[in-house]
């Protein structure tokens, strides 16, 4: 096993099982193992970019792809009228897996102005 591989890379190779909702040549979408809302999924690019700030111009199309995919997944899951899209950047912001990923959280009452409510 390549010890530099992220958990998400090990999920992509099938080494770690996951509930796969979608995949294409650029990204996969899985259910979060520890959901913080009734709908909690992760959109993960196949290429490992550790944090959002590590992305550069070469990732522009991929980042656009991920945002469009977020909308498509929200529609597919029936939560397109109300969902939160979250990227934690850095350990102090709550990032625990250093392979860029987007969280979609939905089917939960989000309190106006309380962003932290998405995770608590
Ligand atoms: P972060 O805290 O880095 O923004 O988010 C990492 C997310 O990955 C967490 O919500 C955590 O529950 C999820 N996660 C960690 N390990 C696994 C795993 O092995 N499988 C799945 N499906 N999710 C995981």
- The answer to whether residue 120 sits within a structural domain is no
Total domain count, the chain: 1
CATH code: domain of residue 73: 3.30.428.10
* Residue 117 placed within a domain: no
119 part of a folded domain: no
Is residue 88 assigned to a domain? yes
| Secondary structure (H, E, C), the chain | CCCCCCHHHHHHCCCCCCCEEEECCCEEEEECCCCCCCEEEEEEECCCCCCHHHCCHHHHHHHHHHHHHHHHHHHHHCCCCCEEEECCCCHHHCCCCCCCCEEEEECCCCCCCCHHHHCC
| Structure confidence at residue 110 as a pLDDT band (50, 70, 90) | confident
Q: Tell whether 49 is covered by a domain.
A: yes
pLDDT at residue 88, as a whole number:
98
Q: Is residue 113 part of a domain?
A: no
Any ligand 1 atom below 6 A from CB of 38: no
At residue 3, does pLDDT exceed 80? no
Q: Residue 20: is its pLDDT beyond 80?
A: yes
* Range(s) of the domain holding residue 91: 7-107
pTM comes to: 0.93
Query: Any idea which residues carry the catalytic annotation?
Result: 101
CA of 30 from ligand 1 middle (Å) equals 10
């Amino acid at each position: 096993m390549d010890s530099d591989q992220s958990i998400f890379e090990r999920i992509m190779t099938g080494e770690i099982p996951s509930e796969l909702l979608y995949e294409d040549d650029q990204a996969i979408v899985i259910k979060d193992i520890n959901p913080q809302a009734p709908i909690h999924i992760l959109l993960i690019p196949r290429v490992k970019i550790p944090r959002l700030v590590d992305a550069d111009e070469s990732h522009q199309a991929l980042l656009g792809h991920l945002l469009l995919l977020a909308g498509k997944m929200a529609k597919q899951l029936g939560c397109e009228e109300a969902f939160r899209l979250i990227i934690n950047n850095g350990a102090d912001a709550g990032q625990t897996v250093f392979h860029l990923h987007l969280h979609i959280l939905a089917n939960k009452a989000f309190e106006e102005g309380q962003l932290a409510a998405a995770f608590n």
